[in-house]
């Protein structure tokens, strides 16, 4: 079913797992992303930047998502990632996205509250979920670079006030992760996550999932992470595979021969990630 962020994070809260939120960059990889979730029996969030949504077409993306979610009988959310402009958010909501992120983390605290609240008002009136952000995640997002020294961790007391005043459905927190970190792994601040989770009652979101060690997933999930963003790892592996296939191809060979292996690479990573995101402590051996 084509559904909302609020719905899938509620399922995740009840069963103590996290929902994978995977960035797509084109329509080609989309069906296999949803099929990966179907094969794992899990819900999935597909997210895009504004530029990708515009490249594909907001309404085209919505219609394709709805069609695949119905066809594959998978709970799927279409989420707009890191939007800073009301007009972009409005376009996504009016086109049928079921979730949006308003990222006011670069703004003074009170301005972030007021602008996020305005988005919540518009979105909730239309049944759409909203993710907000507090603190700064390192790396590059929407072309804007955040240097290591400029990173600001989320303060638990701010998180309480922010959630209460805005009415958001999920909160992205800064606990040491960086966007686009695919050559190394980061040190996540678990004690800070625990402090935030103890005082905030909305689902928490981790950004920059590519740079998070898989050994840390269970502890993140056990401490309230209900949406887990992974983008760069998929992009890098789709591109690497496509470079190989396109590099070797005859120019008149059907494109699918070059694209299917790249889509398969993405599908396999998503299945692997979801397997870990389901947070099964003692899997029953099938041997």
Active site residues: 81
Q: Return the number of the residue (43 or 208) whose C-beta is nearest ligand 13P.
A: 208
Q: What's the rounded Cα separation, in Å, for the pair 102 and 132?
A: 5
Do residues 104 and 142 touch, judged by C-beta distance below 8 A? Answer: no
Using CB under 6 A, which of 208, 225, 262, 265 touches ligand 13P? 208
Using CB under 6 A, which of 35, 155, 207, 226 touches ligand 13P? 207
Q: What is the residue-wise DSSP string for 162-217?
A: HHHHH--SEEEE-SS-EET--SS-----HHHHHHHHHH--SPEEE--GGGS-GGGH
SS3 57: coil
Count the site residues for ligand 13P by CB under 6 A.
16
**Phi, psi of 274, deg, nearest 5:** -60, -40
| Residue 154 in the binding site for ligand 13P (CB under 6 A) | no
- The residue number with the shortest CB distance to ligand 13P is 231
Per CB under 6 A, contacts with ligand 13P among 222-241 are 229-233
Using CB under 6 A, which of 112, 210, 241, 258 touches ligand 13P? 210
| Residue 20 in the binding site for ligand 13P (CB under 6 A) | no
Question: Looking up tokens 């179907």, which residue turns up?
Answer: 38
Q: Return the number of the residue (81 or 91) whose C-beta is nearest ligand 13P.
A: 81
Do residues 155 and 106 touch, judged by C-beta distance below 8 A? Answer: no
| Residue 166 in the binding site for ligand 13P (CB under 6 A) | no
Stretch that binds ligand 13P, among 120-128, 205-213, 257-265, 275-283 (CB under 6 A): 205-213
Q: What's the rounded Cα separation, in Å, for the pair 121 and 144?
A: 27
Q: Are strands 138-141 and 225-230 parallel, antiparallel or unpaired?
A: unpaired
Q: Return the number of the residue (163 or 174) whose C-beta is nearest ligand 13P.
A: 174
Interface with ligand 13P by CB under 6 A: which residues? 23, 81-82, 179-181, 207-211, 229-233
């Amino acid at each position: 079913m084509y559904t909302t962020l609020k719905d899938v994070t509620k399922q995740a809260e009840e069963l103590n797992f996290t929902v994978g939120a995977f960035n797509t960059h084109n329509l080609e990889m989309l069906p296999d992303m949803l099929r990966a979730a179907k094969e794992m029996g899990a819900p999935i969030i597909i997210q895009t930047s504004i530029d990708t949504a515009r490249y594909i077409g907001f309404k085209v993306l919505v219609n394709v998502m709805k069609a695949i979610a119905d066809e594959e009988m998978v709970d799927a959310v279409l989420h707009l990632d890191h939007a800073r402009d009301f007009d972009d958010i409005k376009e996504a909501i009016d086109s049928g996205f079921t979730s949006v992120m308003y990222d006011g983390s670069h703004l003074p605290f009170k301005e972030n509250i007021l602008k996020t609240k305005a988005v919540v008002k518009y979105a909730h009136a239309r049944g759409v979920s909203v993710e907000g952000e507090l603190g700064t995640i390192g790396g590059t997002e929407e072309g804007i670079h955040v240097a290591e020294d400029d990173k600001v961790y989320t303060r638990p007391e701010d998180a309480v006030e922010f959630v209460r005043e805005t009415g958001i459905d999920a909160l992205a927190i800064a606990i040491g992760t960086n966007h686009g970190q695919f050559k190394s792994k980061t040190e996540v601040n678990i004690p800070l996550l625990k402090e935030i989770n103890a005082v905030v009652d909305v689902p928490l979101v981790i950004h920059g999932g590519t740079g998070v060690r898989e050994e840390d997933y269970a502890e993140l999930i056990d401490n309230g992470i209900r949406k887990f963003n992974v983008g760069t790892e998929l992009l890098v592996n789709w591109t690497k595979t496509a470079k190989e296939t396109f590099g070797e191809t005859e120019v008149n060979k059907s494109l699918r021969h070059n694209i299917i292996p790249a889509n398969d690479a993405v599908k396999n990573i998503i299945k692997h990630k979801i397997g870990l995101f389901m947070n099964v402590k003692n899997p029953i051996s099938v041997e």
